[in-house]
A and B are shown apart, each in its own frame.
Chain A
Amino acid sequence: MKIKVIIACYLVLILCNKVSATTLEIALNADPVSLDPHEQLSEGTLQFSHFTFDPLLRWEKSGQFEARLATKWQRLDAHTMRFFLRKDVTFHSGNPFSAKDVIYTINRLKTSPDFRAMFNSIASASIVDKYTVDVHATSPNPLLLNIMAYVFPMDQAFYQGRDEIIKYGKTFASQNVSGTGPFVYISRELGSRMELKRNPNYWDTNSPGNVNKIILTPIRTDSTRLAALFSGDVDFIFPISPIDIERTKRTSGIHLVTIPSTRILLLHMNQNRRQEFKDVKVRKAINLAIDQSLIVEKILKGHATPAGQLSADRFLGHVHDLEPEYDLRKAQDLMKQAGYEKGFRISMMAPNNRYMNDEKVAQAVAAMLARINITVDLKTLPKAQYFQEFDNHAADIMMLGWQSDTMDSNNLFEFIVACPNNKTGLGAYNASEYCRPSLDDNIHQANREMDQEKRIILLQQIEQTLYEDAAVVPLYWQSLSWAAKNKVKIQDIVNDQNYPYLGDLFIDE
């Protein structure tokens, strides 16, 4: 008897289930480390910023800026830019949005360890009137707008006084959110689930977005993520592993969107570790022996664009004529001329869980170098250990992927090929230890050149020099792929920086 009662109670409990409302279930490979938009400069944090905050301006797919919390902007002089702000905006907390919030946010960015490097170039911001802000750069700055795309105004009245940024401790800002964005934070179970609901007072009434609720689940395993979409448990996923792309395309009821990104993958040849790499002929030979197109086609299943330079197509420094070159015969000749016909033995390191198929790409590179008699001792490591080794320049050839934060070529040059300098931080990821002072001059000039035409010439000159010097081996620009149910119209809201604008997402009912 007792058992029957227990079972009956149990069944009643089970049947009392709520039916969920119209929601978007989205599965990504990572979730934001913190709710504080200034704690870590990472993809996850910036995605989250676009959900719950609004930037002053944001990138459109075309490469232009779209006005968001700033309605328009105007350059006053080489140092200063004036931003006119939207007037009808309130924060999630109910506080009205005005110029003081923008000033507060810029000042906070200048104290954030991760954003500081970028915002150091901004001297100060000042209030002109309640809805107008002037931003002053330390020097003439052609990239002011690119930097201002990282300003997601925070609610000063809500945060102030309890806004410390600590990377390894609980802070108010890491647990509470008040932004102006299309979604309001509800709850989160770190590592497994985050819930957001539509902001009923969102200022952008023209947005086609109709998502009422978002449930974000981080799923790290590629196959689990894909199965979750196929089984209908989630509506929208990122990323898709190259081997699953064909299958995803074939599956009915699901569509796939692929966009080439600007993230460059490259190899560094350390000239201080290896005498041989000091010879431009050897570096050229290595560049010629590696067949970028084959790697992209066979290993990445076309999920990338072969690269003959660092700057992607939409960057100012992109030189149209620099195509990836592959010529084995010529490479062998160059090795002979350099006196290394018999080749030599080198070490190489690459991560095995950082970039798409990174380990396989590294193996392919090793095999290709064997054809010009360079024997490669390849070691691949998980990213947590790899970047430690990278910082120590622990191997002769090292793999690196780089996404320019400012969406500009100069960021690539500064970090990857500028002469390493501990004081200025230039060349921090230059594991080639390649150094050409004239190139550094160009980089400095490009940082302050306000004339767009002249700036393009400067940047393209750098790219050309890098090619002639065969300073590094550019491999490819990785592509980004999202997949979703057909009723979820993701085509218009994804972009090459991987910040899906979910506020504008439309779902067929």
Chain B
Amino acid sequence: MLIFLLRRLVQACFVMIIISVISFAIQDKLGDPVQQMVSMAVSSDEREQLREQLGLNDSFLNQYWRFAKGAIQGDLGTSYHYKEPALDVILKKLPATLELVFCAILLIIIVATPCGVLAAIKPKHPVSRLLMIISSIGLSVPIFIIAIFMVYLFSVEWNIAPSFGRGETTEILGLWDSGIFTKDGLSHLLLPSLSLAIALMPIFVRLIRAEMMDVLQSEYIRFAWSKGLSAKRIYFIHALKNTMLPVITVGGIQAGTLVAYTILTETIFQWPGMGFLFMDAVSRVDTPLVAAYLIVVGGMFVITNTVVDLIYGLVNPTVRLASHGL
């Protein structure tokens, strides 16, 4: 077990190093950060001076070495625009993104579970068929179209929810700037979390339906029927429980997709989270911030995957065998 753990950790470190090299290497391709800092009228000599001060004229290896030395000590560079350590800037925006993702996941669970179950129990029912059609459409329409459409309907035409921003926030324990404890904050959460949820809901409806149908064929369900248990108990206690296992696994993988979708959703709704920050940093050529974001998100992926692998190792010992493990 210990060897397996070590091996996974070495692997994770290796992946992180590759991510850091890549995120550092693409910096050059984003454009010239100095150009963004000065007005058009500033002479090329002055620009050159600034470039020199920022260390942008050093060789790639030198720059990377400086960056890596800092990164090991937890310093991912200083954002040009925010003038603060890039990691701090990102962590400050983390609550907004996490709340958005949390609400989206909540919505997915609340909506997708009953829909999926219904579609599995009564596959021929018109409502189930309608659900399947809607989920196909949902899978194929890009999220930004749905989001823009929702803004048009809910905020411009019907005036139900605000169209952008996070609204009023309250500070929890001095650490967490939260929007879910005010009415204003909640109303601001509505559209972004809904459009984020809609992006992933169809997959889950379909997944739950397929898994549920599978489970309903199994022996123990037939046994439960013959035992004379109530339909409610069979569907929602016995069958659903076993359905959820693979769903949660896929859900874990999809969490990564969710992070990618937050970039889009946050940009459309001007949601002050990490995704929005990233887009802003790219257009400002705030290269330290871009690199830090990629490393933080990459790190999040690596950690979740490693944890998932470790849990698998506990649950299913065969994974620990060399032939399966690496």
Contact = CB atoms under 8 A, between A and B. Distances in A.
Interface string A406-428: 00000000010000001001001
A1 B297 CA distance: 40
Contacts of B32: 384-385, 387-388
Interface stretch (B97-105, B150-158, B203-211, B219-227): B150-158
A208 interface: no
A13 B182 CA distance: 7
Nearest to A13: B181
Interface in B141-183: 148, 151-152, 155-156, 159, 162-166, 168, 170, 181-183
A384 B81 CA distance: 14
A41 B270 CA distance: 26
Contacts, number: 143
A384 B36 contact: yes
B33 to A, nearest CB: 8
A279 interface: no
Contact of B80 (A168, A221, A223, A429): A168
Given A41-B41, A189-B272, A231-B163, A353 B283 contact: yes
Interface stretch (A64-72, A111-119, A448-456): A111-119
A422 B44 contact: yes
Nearest to A9: B181
A40 B284 CA distance: 14
A5 interface: no
Nearest to B41: A117
Contact of B39 (A17, A42, A169): A42
B35 A388 contact: yes
A402 B283 CA distance: 20
Given A10-B181, A14-B186, A224-B270, A231 B155 contact: yes
Contacts of A228: 163-164, 270
B268 interface: yes
Given A192-B270, A224-B270, A382-B283, A113 B46 contact: yes
A101 interface: no
B23 interface: no
Contacts of A221: 267-268, 270
Contacts of B152: 227
A388 B152 CA distance: 38
Contacts of B156: 227, 230-231
B50 A167 contact: yes
Given A190-B81, A384-B35, A117 B42 contact: yes
Interface in A344-396: 353, 382-385, 387-388, 391
B280 interface: yes
- Among A10, A15, A33, A227, chain B packs the most CB atoms within 10 A around the CB of A227
A217 B165 contact: yes
A233 B163 contact: yes
A170 B155 CA distance: 38
B38 interface: yes
B303 interface: no
Interface in B71-125: 78, 80-84
A220 B268 contact: no
Interface residues of A, number: 51
Interface range, B side: 35 or more
Which one of B30, B53, B162 has the highest number of Cβ atoms from chain A below 10 Å of its Cβ? Answer: B162
Interface in A196-221: 217, 219-221
B40 interface: yes
Interface in B29-77: 29-32, 35-46, 50, 53-54
B285 interface: yes
Contacts of B162: 231, 233
Given A168-B78, A353-B283, A428-B43, A388 B163 contact: no
A217 B277 CA distance: 14
A18 B268 CA distance: 27
B83 A169 contact: yes
A221 B165 CA distance: 13
A338 B123 CA distance: 76
Contacts of B280: 191, 220
Most chain A C-beta atoms within 10 Å of own C-beta, residue among B46, B53, B164, B166: B164
A245 B236 CA distance: 54
Nearest to B31: A384
Contacts of A428: 41, 43-44
Contacts of B184: 17
Contacts of B41: 41, 114, 117-118, 405, 415, 428
A145 to B, nearest CB: 19
B269 interface: yes
Contacts of A94: none
B31 A391 contact: no
A141 interface: no
A96 B10 CA distance: 64
Contacts of A479: none
A339 interface: no
A113 B30 contact: no
A31 B54 CA distance: 24
Contacts of A167: 37-38, 50, 80
A232 interface: yes
Contacts of B166: 192
Among B42, B50, B152, B183, residue most surrounded by chain A Cβ atoms (within 10 Å): B42
Given A228-B163, A231-B162, A384-B35, A170 B272 contact: no
B103 to A, nearest CB: 14
A384 B30 contact: yes
Nearest to A401: B40
Interface string A149-177: 00000000000000000011110001000
A190 B151 CA distance: 25
B268 A385 contact: no
A118 B53 CA distance: 23
Interface string B242-283: 000000000000000000000000011110100011001001
10 contacts: A14-B181, A18-B168, A113-B50, A167-B50, A191-B82, A219-B270, A224-B164, A384-B30, A385-B30, A388-B31
Interface of A: 10, 13-15, 17-18, 33, 40-42, 113-114, 117-118, 167-170, 174, 189-193, 217, 219-221, 223-224, 227-228, 230-233, 353, 382-385, 387-388, 391, 402, 405, 415, 422, 425, 428-429
Given A118-B41, A230-B155, 19 more contacts: A14-B181, A14-B186, A17-B182, A114-B42, A117-B41, A169-B78, A190-B81, A192-B165, A220-B283, A224-B270, A227-B164, A230-B163, A383-B31, A387-B31, A387-B32, A391-B44, A405-B41, A428-B41, A429-B40
Which are the 8 A-B pairs with shortest beta-carbon distances? A384-B31, A41-B39, A231-B155, A192-B272, A385-B31, A230-B156, A227-B163, A170-B83
